Amino acid sequence: MEQTLVIVKPDAVARGLIGEVIRRFEAEGLVVCGLKMVWLAQKEAEGFYQVHRHRPFFESLTHFMASGPCVMMVLEGEKAIGCVRTLMGATDPAEADEGTLRRSFATSIEKNVVHGSDSAASAAFEIPYFFNRLEIIPVAERGETSLA
């Protein structure tokens, strides 16, 4: 089992797409094991995207991410990291496959609806950036209520 961090970005939250994003992930068998809404401060957005700090789009990206509330999720499943990335589609919606979240809903390469960890190393940084241990409830710890 793998865990990955997903962010429903401010553009998608503002457009009422939280439910549709979660629905698409759950429909593929991914399990929500952590969930919260957060309005990031500029510094928090900068810390999260620190790997991109030298990129020309860094300032614009972090302003966008701090422009309104996001929904943060930890999703769990077999090969969850790759599965989420397939369902999201390419970063640039013009290059995203038909049927992906970004192809369906993104309006630009920046306002691209959703973020997902791009590797196990990224997930290991990104999940604890937003969630503490008590806020993550893995499938294996759910006992009788587990669907798995």
- Taking contact as CB under 6 A, which single stretch among the options 17-25, 35-43, 109-117, 119-127 is the one that binds ligand CMP? 109-117
- For ligand CMP, the closer of residues 59 and 140 by Cβ is 59
**Total of chain residues touching ligand CMP, rule CB under 6 A:** 8
According to CB under 6 A, which one of 2, 20, 110, 135 is a site residue for ligand CMP?
Answer: 110
- Rounded Cα gap, residues 106 and 41, in angstroms: 23
Over the window 49 to 78, marking each residue x when it contacts ligand CMP by CB under 6 A and - when it does not, the resulting string is: ---x----x---x-----------------
- Does 91 interact with ligand CMP (rule: CB under 6 A)? yes
The CA distances from residue 119 to 3, 13, 59, 77, in Å, are 10, 25, 23, 14
B/e letters for 77-105, b = 16+ CB within 10 Å, e = fewer, are beebbebbbebbbbeebeebeeebbbbbb
- For ligand CMP, the closer of residues 32 and 109 by Cβ is 109
- Rounded Cα gap, residues 21 and 4, in angstroms: 15
- Site residues (vs ligand CMP, CB under 6 A): 52, 57, 61, 91, 109-110, 112, 115
